[in-house]
Amino acid sequence: MEGKRSCLSSSIPSDLLRRIRKLTLSILTNLSNGQSPVVQIDRFRNYCTGTSGNCYCNCGISVGKELLTLQRECHTRRLDVLLRVLLVVQTLLQQNRHGSKRDIYYMHPTVFKEQSVVDRAINDICILLQCSRHNLNVVSVGNGMVMGWLKFSEAGRKFDCINNPNTAYPVPVHVEDVEIDIIGVARYILVVEKESVFQRLANDSFCTRNRCIVVTGRGYPDVPTRRFLRLLIEKLHLPAYCLVDCDPYGIDILTTYRFGSMQMAYDAKFLCVPEIRWLGVFPSEVEKYCLPQHCLLPLTREDKTRVEAMLLRCYLRREAPQWRFELDLLLARGLKCEIEALSVQSLSFLSEEYLPSKIRGGVYI
């Protein structure tokens, strides 16, 4: 599969339309012959919980196949949804137009019932057609924001963030149309988990003072944010650091940036950012920065279950053992905190002391 997907970015509508015709013709031929069509969908994963070390996670290699037939009612519904979404995709490609996942959902809301059904069908179609989602002209409604020492253009529109380095700009949705102006002025890229911290840094003129680029996905990052971040790193060759809450969700967001998500494991090679480093907030820093008890919260049962599950992921054992150490510590202490807890020192402590000192001192993992 990896070999077939090596030229994803060069997939063109005519090629995809040919694959759509081939897939639908196969289904129609089976039906006309009185046979139940069988649609084989490769399955991928970006991590496993085995301890042997002999896994193929995140290698672009299928770990099995799922067979959809009309013999099972749940499969019939999935095939119905898949073909409806495929028809929309075909129209978008033929007309050279773009649509969002939400647009597609509202075309048949009584059939789809919920957005996740459409999302799953789009992922299945990407696997069947051996392409990425943006090749289908299906786009996300972007949540990400960027600011700092950067110039870029998207489909002819120019964005000069350098003129106002502490002003937020939306992350471009059509990342394939983005051109980065390589002028070599930024020193590094900082990814922050959430908008509140992003705004704190903007208010403190962090980018002006530190000559950097700051990106946020405002929680779990969407596809455009991840693709844009990957593009920045590939084009600018800058170090990238990630700042997240000291809790299971923050660390899970961190792993999404670096290793990808299970839902889109088939495209992990084109979405993950292996260069990114964890800058904080580490569980081991709670005592170092003398965070008072009222800034700490006990882990919930759900938090503990999430940490225990994360500790089993093969990529942490294989590539990020220090992250596992911090997760172990988080679980052992049973306490979590937000990035904003650092403000107990002073409102500007995060931007003026914590971040600059860690980056200068190489205190990241």
Q: Which residue numbers are catalytic?
A: 106
Neighbouring-strand partners of residue 39? 68
The DSSP code sequence of 308-329 is: HHHHT-HHHHHH-HHHHHHHHH
> What is the C-alpha to C-alpha distance for residues 253 and 296, in angstroms, rounded to an integer?
20
Phi, psi of 45 (to 5 degrees): -150, 150
Task: Identify the burial level of 51 via C-beta atoms within 10 angstroms of its C-beta, where 0-12 means exposed, 13-18 middle and 19 or more buried.
Answer: exposed
Q: Which residues contact 40 (CB under 8 A, 6 or more apart)?
A: 65, 66, 67, 68
**C-alpha span between 311 and 166 (Å, rounded):** 37
Determine the Cα–Cα distance for residues 209 and 174; give it in Å rounded to an integer: 30
How far apart, in whole angstroms, are the C-alpha atoms of residue 48 and residue 62?
A: 13
Angle at 193 between CA 124 and CA 223, to 5 degrees: 25
CA 165 to each of CA 145, 183, 203: distance values in angstroms, whole numbers, following the listed order? 12, 15, 11
Tokens linked to 141: 């409604």
DSSP assignment, residue 284?
T
Give the number of other Cβ atoms within 10 Å of residue 50's Cβ.
12
Parallel, antiparallel, or unpaired: how do β-strands 189-192 and 213-216 relate? parallel
CA dihedral angle for residue 316, residue 320, residue 323, residue 329, rounded to 10 degrees: 70
Rounded to the nearest 5 degrees, what angle is found at the Cα of 323, between the Cα atoms of 322 and 326? 90
Task: Say what the alpha-carbon torsion angle 359, 195, 260, 52 is, to the nearest 10 degrees.
Answer: 70
CA–CA dist 136, 100 (Å, integer)? 11
- Pairing of β 138-139 and β 99-100: parallel
